[in-house]
Amino acid sequence: MIALIQRVSRAHVEVNGETIATVGRGLLALIGVEAGDSAATATRLLERVLAYRVFPDAEGRMNLDLRQIGGGLLLVPQFTLAADTSKGNRPGFSTTAAPAVAESLFRLMVEQARALHPGVQAGAFGADMQVSLVNDGPATFNLRVPPIS
C-alpha cells in the first residue's frame, strides 16, 4: 500500500463542483492500494502517516508529526499510485488491487484515522475528483508498506 504524503498549508477536494473535504495545515495523503494488500497493511500505513515527522520544530528541523501539531489529514484514494510504470509509455494496472478490495481498505483506513485523530477528511472513492493544495515547503514523501498477511 502506498501513501504519497504532502505537507500542506491547505487542501481540498471537489466533486462535481462541490467541495466535499477540506483541511488547513496538515497532510494530504494520496492512497494507492496494491494487489495483496490487507487490513493489516492499511493499519500499518496509517500508523506511518500519522507518525511521520515532517513538520518543523522550534529549530526548523523536521521533528514533529501530524498529531504533535494538531494538523488536518486529507486522505484521497488514488489507484494510479499502484500502477506498473516499469516499462513502456503507458501505465499498467495489473499491480493494483481489485476495485472492491481497494475501496474496502481505503474506507477502513479512513475509519481508523478518524478514530485516532481529529480533523480527518476524505475524498470519494471512484469519483472524478479535483484536488487542490498548497504544498508547504514543498515537502512530499512516498511511503510504502509491502503486503502484510
| From 68, 80, 85, 130, active-site residue | 80
What are 23-51's pLDDT values in tens digits? 999 999 999 999 999 999 999 999 999 99
| From 6, 41, 55, 78, active-site residue | 78
The answer to whether residue 95 is catalytic is no
pLDDT given at position 149: 74
pLDDT given at position 96: 95
The answer to whether residue 22 is catalytic is no
Q: Which residues of 129-149 are buried (b: 16+ CB within 10 A; e: fewer)?
A: bebebeebeeeebeeebeeee
| From 79, 96, 106, 121, active-site residue | 79
pLDDT given at position 148: 87
The answer to whether residue 80 is catalytic is yes
What does the alpha-carbon distance between residue 13 and residue 39 come to, in Å, rounded to a whole number? 25
pLDDT given at position 99: 96
What are 2-12's pLDDT values in tens digits? 999 999 999 99
| Ordered domains of the chain (ranges, CATH) | 2-144 (3.50.80.10)
Give ∠ CA 4-19-140 in degrees, rounded to 5.
15
Instruction: Please list the ranges in the chain whose pLDDT falls under 70.
Output: none
pLDDT given at position 80: 95
pLDDT given at position 102: 97
